[in-house]
Chain A
Amino acid sequence: MEIEIRINGREERHKACSIAELVADRGLTAGSLIVEHNGRIIRQDDWGEVMLCPGDVLEMLNFVGGG
């Protein structure tokens, strides 16, 4: 089943799955990736536990260089 979720400010359709599966499907490796789910940071260890639901808002972030 496909659901609509908001990832980094963009509406996207994706199959219903866990955060871990979404990260893998997007070709991302965990590394230093930070995932915020509906305003809450989800620890990488818990990515497999959190299932995405229609209307969820995800931010996928990373620390970068800055002054």
Chain B
Amino acid sequence: MNDKLIIGGHAFASRLFTGTGKFAARSWIPKMLAASGSEMITVALRRIDQAGTPENILDYIPKNVVLLPNTSGARTAEEAVRIARIARAAGCGRFIKIEVITDTKYLMPDNYETLKATEILAKEDFIVLPYVLPDLPLAKRLEDAGAAAVMPLGAPIGSNRGLETKPLIALLIENCRVPVVVDAGIGRPSQAAEAMEMGADAVLVNTAIATAEDPALMGRAFALAVAAGRLGYLAKLAGQSVTARASSPLTGFLE
């Protein structure tokens, strides 16, 4: 079955996007990528803080995996734009995850600044994936601004609480032309399956994989859950009812 996800002209066979943060050892990253089949992974950009050879996270990412640099650390649209330009100039390609955060307790994305950054970067030919609170009117504005996808959070970053914003994400799935990628908060494979079953186009999972005892095995578990949830969505879920509906004939055995 040809069920590739197209974002920014790239075709992804895997609908599981992953991240490079929080791994106990970076050597887990290529193992996790191999085990999960994930074809897109996030990286961040930071000032160096000491002498020596800065360790290059890119060395741990196979060339066939698409890099999704994020703008973490940005508190304004202007800062996000600057980070995006640096990432592209440094050879990271055209994809950019816009992440503008001013709230340090819940790490809620600033939707207003994110929209402003999207407007600027889409015009500069970036493939823009904005990380947002699920808000339908905003998502439509992001589409109009040229976003290649929208990435609503399920729950706060790293919280592993799952799809707390599910009804709002459902509105995005129902109404958006661009792919909807559930990003942040997904803590277990069943929650990834749940997002895919409801029609999300992909999920982005970092913490739940990176901080598992065996990140490679967890990457595989998430890949299977995402694939299962996607198939469930494509197969169209059967309806629910309050009362039982017999699956065997209701006539008595010997009648």
Partner-B contacts on A (CB < 8 A): 8-9, 26-29, 31-34, 36, 41, 59-67
- In chain B, what residue has the closest Cβ to A25? B51
Residues of A within 8 Å of B20, CB to CB, are 64-67
- Tell whether B21 is near chain A: CB-to-CB under 8 Å: yes
Q: Do B43 and A28 touch across chains, with their CB atoms under 8 A apart?
A: no
On chain B, the number of residues with a Cβ less than 8 Å from chain A's Cβ atoms is 36
Residues of A within 8 Å of B48, CB to CB, are 8, 28, 33, 60-62
Alpha-carbon separation in the docked complex, A27 to B43 (Å) = 25
Q: Do B21 and A66 touch across chains, with their CB atoms under 8 A apart?
A: yes
Alpha-carbon separation in the docked complex, A61 to B46 (Å) = 5
Q: Give the contacts of B33-75 with A (CB-CB under 8 A).
A: 42-48, 51-59, 69-70, 72
- Tell whether B168 is near chain A: CB-to-CB under 8 Å: no
Q: Give the A-B contact count at a CB cut-off of 8 A.
A: 95
Partner of A65, one of B21, B86, B184: B21
Q: Do A62 and B54 touch across chains, with their CB atoms under 8 A apart?
A: yes
Q: Do B19 and A33 touch across chains, with their CB atoms under 8 A apart?
A: no
- In chain A, what residue has the closest Cβ to B59? A32
Partner of A64, one of B44, B92, B207, B210: B44
Q: Do B56 and A31 touch across chains, with their CB atoms under 8 A apart?
A: yes
State whether A28 and B21 are in contact (beta carbons under 8 Å apart), knowing that A33-B48, A60-B48 are contacts in the complex. Answer: no
Residues of A within 8 Å of B90, CB to CB, are 34, 41, 61, 63
Partner of A63, one of B51, B53, B57, B206: B57
For the complex with contacts A8-B48, A34-B86, A67-B19, 10 further pairs of A-B residues with Cβ separation under 8 Å are A31-B56, A36-B86, A61-B48, A62-B55, A63-B44, A63-B58, A64-B46, A65-B26, A67-B20, A67-B157
